[in-house]
């Protein structure tokens, strides 16, 4: 490896390091700092969403309506209550389109550290632009938010590209590191929301005040952490050479198609897992995206109450993760996934049947708690199941496909919710409509097969990969020998 490139870091025999020191690995410490920096950038958009809804209603002339009255006016051709969910859908479509190109950049460029640094800085700049919400220019904030998802996807993929170089082929140690990264990000999410809720409630802020404070706080917290992390990370080499004459976006799609066809033909359990997550993951992730609109428009929550409901969802994800761990041990990981998919459908029925208006505030908070447990449990089960389907030498390549599959339909739930809202369907019933994706995922999951079938197909897939690698090595040696003979 060249100077400045990341070297696999061996774990010292006598481990006297604290958990956050990552056995002395500077790269792991900086990636942990990057994980913490990502949290405020993401969470600040929730506060921004509440202000966008209020300002859109003001522009439509609906700011003086009574609590039981619905705004029938439009802004830019849609109801004000649809602005956030529709923009979320557009953002997710843009992220899905650019994601293969982002993966190709991670694979083919030798400048990952620079890409990681500047993607982080541009995210910070976009968040700074969103502070313009204080002037009432909500359209600028929406446009800036729409540019963020593909940059965030690129940043995350570069972040993940460092994982293989963190340890000296020690899989368990790497899993421990990644768990700490995720735990740190989760705690940062919760702390950020608690601070925003405390300040907004304590100072009785309006929606614009909450959004402005959230954006400024995210800038203060994220900017120095991003800068320090990415200026102190070492570079990592590109894992492959980009095919000559290819664009990054076409190279990314070609690789994605090639890998998907191979998985479909040789590893059916993994194929059906991918398709399950295609519907299951967005149905869970969409709850947080749709939440600010649901709580403000359907429940008439104040900004601080809206933030509090989101904080409950985030907090309850932790006991959900613990419950998933228990179910995975007592049953199977696949059983746990199905349990939480069914639970999300049952919770959506509860929402549709009970939470029919602002007078059901207690039921709305109970719903927030339950759905938080469900989201935490499902995502933990899904993440735990994926490694059991993947040969150890293909984790990086197949993780890219997994990353694409869980995000490519992230636009669908917000668009479904928007379509229902535009047809004046009650938002509690629109939440049930969104969770039909969980039912689809639940039914597809039965195609994955039994544990014995999964193991058989996994072993066969691993053997076919090893055979292909051996043939490739022999072919390379023959070509080298022919060149020597010719010379």
Local structure of residue 167 (DSSP, 8 states): S
Q: How far apart (Å, rounded) are the C-alpha atoms in residues 125 and 117?
A: 12
Q: How far apart (Å, rounded) are the C-alpha atoms in residues 440 and 230?
A: 41
Q: How far apart (Å, rounded) are the C-alpha atoms in residues 318 and 324?
A: 10
Alpha helix (H) residue ranges in 131-170 = 138-146, 148-161
Angle at 301 between CA 296 and CA 306, to 5 degrees: 80
Q: How far apart (Å, rounded) are the C-alpha atoms in residues 428 and 425?
A: 9
Q: Per-residue pLDDT for the chain (487 aa), expressed as one digit of tens each?
A: 444 444 444 344 445 677 777 888 888 999 999 999 999 998 998 889 999 999 998 898 887 777 667 788 889 899 999 999 999 898 888 888 888 877 777 777 778 888 899 999 999 999 999 988 888 888 898 888 888 877 888 888 888 878 777 876 666 777 778 778 888 888 899 999 999 999 999 998 999 999 999 999 999 999 999 999 999 998 877 767 777 777 777 887 888 888 888 888 888 899 999 999 999 999 998 898 899 999 999 999 999 999 999 999 999 988 998 899 899 888 988 999 999 999 999 999 999 999 999 999 999 999 999 999 999 999 989 988 887 787 766 666 677 788 889 889 999 999 999 999 999 999 999 999 999 999 999 999 999 987 777 777 766 776 766 666 555 555 555 655 555 565 5
Judge whether 340 and 381 are in contact, CB under 8 Å: yes
Judge whether 89 and 142 are in contact, CB under 8 Å: no
Judge whether 375 and 317 are in contact, CB under 8 Å: yes
Instruction: Please return the burial class of 469, using the count of CB atoms within 10 Å of its CB with bins 0-12, 13-18 and 19+.
Output: exposed
Residue 241, φ and ψ in degrees, nearest 5: -95, 135
Specify the pLDDT at position 351: 96
- Whose tokens are 């998985």? That residue is 263
How many Cα atoms occupy the beta-carbon half-sphere of 22 within 13 Å?
22
Alpha helix (H) residue ranges in 359-450 = 361-385, 395-408, 412-422, 427-434, 436-444
3-state secondary structure 311-350: HHHHHHHHHHHHHHHHHHHHCCHHHHHHHHHHHHHHHHHH
Strand, helix or coil for residue 172: helix
Specify the pLDDT at position 230: 95
**Ramachandran category for residue 24: left, alpha or beta (phi over 0 → left; psi -120 to 50 → alpha):** left
Q: Kindly report the pTM of this predicted structure.
A: 0.84
* 424 contact partners, CB below 8 Å, separation of at least 6: 70
User: DSSP labels for 267-321?
Assistant: -HHHHHHHHHHHHHHHHHHHHHHHHHHIIIIIT---HHHHHHHHHHHHHHHHHHH
**Ramachandran category for residue 300: left, alpha or beta (phi over 0 → left; psi -120 to 50 → alpha):** left
Q: How far apart (Å, rounded) are the C-alpha atoms in residues 6 and 233?
A: 8
Element (H, E) at 10: none
Give the pair of three-digit tokens for residue 236: 């990592």
Specify the pLDDT at position 150: 77
């Amino acid at each position: 490896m060249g100077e400045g490139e990341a070297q696999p870091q061996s774990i010292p025999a006598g481990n006297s390091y604290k958990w956050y020191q990552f056995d002395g690995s500077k790269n792991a410490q900086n990636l942990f700092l990057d994980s913490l920096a990502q949290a405020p950038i993401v969470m600040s958009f929730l506060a921004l969403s509440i202000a966008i809804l209020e300002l859109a209603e003001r522009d439509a002339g609906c700011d003086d309506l009574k609590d039981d009255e619905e705004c029938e006016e439009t802004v830019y051709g849609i109801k004000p209550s649809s602005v956030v969910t529709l923009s979320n859908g557009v953002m997710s479509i843009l992220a899905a389109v650019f994601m293969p190109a982002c993966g190709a950049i991670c694979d083919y460029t030798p400048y990952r550290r620079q890409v990681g640094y500047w993607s982080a800085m541009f995210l910070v700049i976009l968040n700074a632009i969103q502070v313009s919400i204080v002037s009432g220019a909500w359209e600028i904030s929406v446009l800036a938010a729409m540019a963020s998802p593909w940059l965030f996807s690129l940043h995350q993929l570069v972040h993940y590209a460092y994982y293989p170089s963190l340890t000296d082929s020690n899989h368990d140690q790497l899993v421990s590191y990644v768990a700490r990264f995720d735990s740190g990000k989760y705690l940062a999410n919760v702390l950020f929301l608690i601070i925003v809720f405390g300040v907004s409630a304590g100072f009785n802020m309006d929606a614009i005040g909450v959004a402005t404070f959230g954006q400024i706080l995210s800038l203060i917290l994220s900017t120095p952490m991003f800068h320090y992390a990415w200026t102190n990370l070492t570079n990592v080499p590109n894992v492959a050479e980009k095919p000559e004459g290819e664009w990054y976006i076409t190279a990314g799609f070609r690789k994605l198609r090639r890998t998907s066809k191979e998985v479909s033909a040789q590893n059916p359990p993994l194929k059906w897992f991918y398709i399950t997550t295609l519907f299951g993951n967005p149905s869970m992730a969409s709850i947080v995206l749709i939440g600010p609109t649901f709580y403000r428009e359907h429940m008439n929550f104040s900004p601080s109450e809206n933030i509090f409901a989101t904080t409950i969802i985030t907090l309850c994800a932790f006991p959900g993760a613990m419950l998933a761990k228990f179910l995975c041990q007592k049953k199977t990981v696949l059983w746990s996934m199905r349990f939480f998919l069914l639970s999300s459908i049952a919770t959506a029925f509860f929402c549709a049947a009970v939470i029919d208006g602002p007078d059901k505030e207690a039921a709305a908070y109970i719903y927030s708690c339950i759905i938080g447990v469900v989201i935490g449990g499902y995502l933990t089960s899904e993440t735990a199941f994926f490694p059991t389907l993947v040969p150890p030498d293909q984790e990086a390549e197949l993780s890219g496909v997994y990353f694409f599959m869980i995000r490519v339909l992230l636009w669908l739930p917000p668009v479904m919710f928007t379509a229902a809202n535009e047809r004046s369907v009650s938002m509690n019933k629109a939440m049930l409509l969104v969770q039909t994706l969980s039912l689809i995922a639940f039914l597809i999951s039965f195609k994955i097969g039994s544990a014995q079938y999964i193991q058989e197909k996994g072993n066969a897939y691993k053997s076919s990969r090893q055979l292909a690698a051996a043939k490739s090595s022999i072919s390379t040696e023959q070509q080298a020998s022919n060149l020597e003979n010719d010379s």
